[in-house]
Amino acid sequence: MSAELDQRAREILRTNDKGGYTVPTDGLYPYQWNWDSVFVALGFATFDESRACREIETLFEVQWDSGFVPHIVFRQDDPGYFPGPSTWNAGGQVPTSGITQPPIAASVIYEMWCRTKTDSIRERLATLFPKVLAWHRWFHRCRISEDTGAVIITHPWESGRDNSPEWTRPTSRVDPTGVGPYQRRDLQHADASMRPLKRDYDRYIALLEYGRDTGWDHSKLATEGPFRMADVGMTMILLRATRDLIRLSKELGRVDIIAELDGYVRSLEQGADYLWDSKAQTYCSRDVISGEASGYVTNASFLYGYAGVGDHGQQAHMARHWDRIGARVQYMLPSQDPDDAGFDHMRYWCGPVWIMMNYILARGFLEIGQQAWAERLRADSHRLIADFGFHEAFSPQTGDGTGGRDFSWTAAMWLAWCGRNTAAPGT
Ligand code: DGY
**pLDDT tops 50 at residue 43:** yes
Q: Tell me the mean pLDDT in the region 193-206.
A: 96
Q: Considering Cα of 313, then 314, then 319, then 321, what sign does the dihedral take?
A: positive
- pTM assigned to the model: 0.97
Find the 420 Cα to ligand 1 centroid distance in Å: 30
Pocket test for ligand 1, best of 35, 78, 162 (most atoms within 8 A of CB): 162
Return the bridge partners of 6, or none: none
Pocket test for ligand 1, best of 72, 81, 155, 157 (most atoms within 8 A of CB): 157
What residues contact residue 171 under an 8 Å CB cut-off, 6+ apart?
Answer: 156, 200, 203, 207, 227
Longest dimension (CA), the chain: 56
**pLDDT tops 60 at residue 423:** no
Find the 201 Cα to ligand 1 centroid distance in Å: 10
What residues contact residue 377 under an 8 Å CB cut-off, 6+ apart?
Answer: 332, 333, 358, 359, 361, 362, 365
Find the 157 Cα to ligand 1 centroid distance in Å: 7
What residues contact residue 75 under an 8 Å CB cut-off, 6+ apart?
Answer: 18, 21, 31, 32, 94
**pLDDT tops 80 at residue 79:** yes
Q: Average model confidence (pLDDT) for the chain?
A: 96
**pLDDT tops 50 at residue 427:** no
| Cα 346 from chain centre | 19
End-to-end CA distance of the chain: 21
Q: How many whole angstroms separate alpha carbon 58 and alpha carbon 63?
A: 10
Instruction: Give residue ranges with CB within 6 A of ligand 1.
Output: 71, 157, 162, 186
Q: Residue 252 has what pLDDT?
A: 97
Q: From the CA of 29, give the closest atom in ligand 1.
A: 2
Q: How many CA atoms lie within 13 A of 128 on its CB side?
A: 29
**pLDDT tops 50 at residue 227:** yes
Q: Tell me the mean pLDDT in the region 223-250.
A: 98
* pLDDT band per the 50, 70, 90 thresholds, residue 425: low
pLDDT of 118-163, one tens digit each? 999 999 999 999 999 999 999 999 999 889 999 999 999 999 999 9
Return the bridge partners of 32, or none: 73
At 33, give phi and psi (nearest 5°): -105, 145
| Torsion angle of C-alpha atoms 255, 256, 262, 264, degrees rounded to 10 | -130
Find the 72 Cα to ligand 1 centroid distance in Å: 9
Q: Tell me the mean pLDDT in the region 352-376.
A: 98
Q: From the CA of 28, give the closest atom in ligand 1.
A: 2
Tell the residue nearest (CA) to atom 7 of ligand 1.
157
pLDDT of 258-277, one tens digit each? 999 999 999 999 999 999 99
Q: Tell me the mean pLDDT in the region 380-401.
A: 98
Q: From the CA of 196, give the closest atom in ligand 1.
A: 3
Q: Tell me the mean pLDDT in the region 298-322.
A: 98
- Active-site residues, by number, are 162, 392
**pLDDT tops 60 at residue 424:** no
Q: Residue 146 has what pLDDT?
A: 85
Pocket test for ligand 1, best of 69, 186, 348, 409 (most atoms within 8 A of CB): 186
Percent pLDDT > 70 in the chain is: 98
Inter-residue contact 355 to 384 (CB < 8 Å): yes
**pLDDT tops 50 at residue 279:** yes
Find the 159 Cα to ligand 1 centroid distance in Å: 11
Tell the residue nearest (CA) to atom 6 of ligand 1.
157
**pLDDT tops 90 at residue 91:** no
Return the bridge partners of 394, or none: 353, 401
Q: From the CA of 82, give the closest atom in ligand 1.
A: 2
Give, in order, the Cα–Cα distances in Å from 345 to each of 327, 335, 389, 397, 399.
15, 9, 17, 7, 9
Which residue, 255, 337, 246, 262, is CA-closest to 294? 337
DSSP letters, 164-190, are -GGGHHHHHTS--TT------SHHHHS
**pLDDT tops 90 at residue 420:** no
**pLDDT tops 70 at residue 426:** no
pLDDT of 48-73, one tens digit each? 999 999 999 999 999 999 999 999 99
* pLDDT band per the 50, 70, 90 thresholds, residue 197: very high
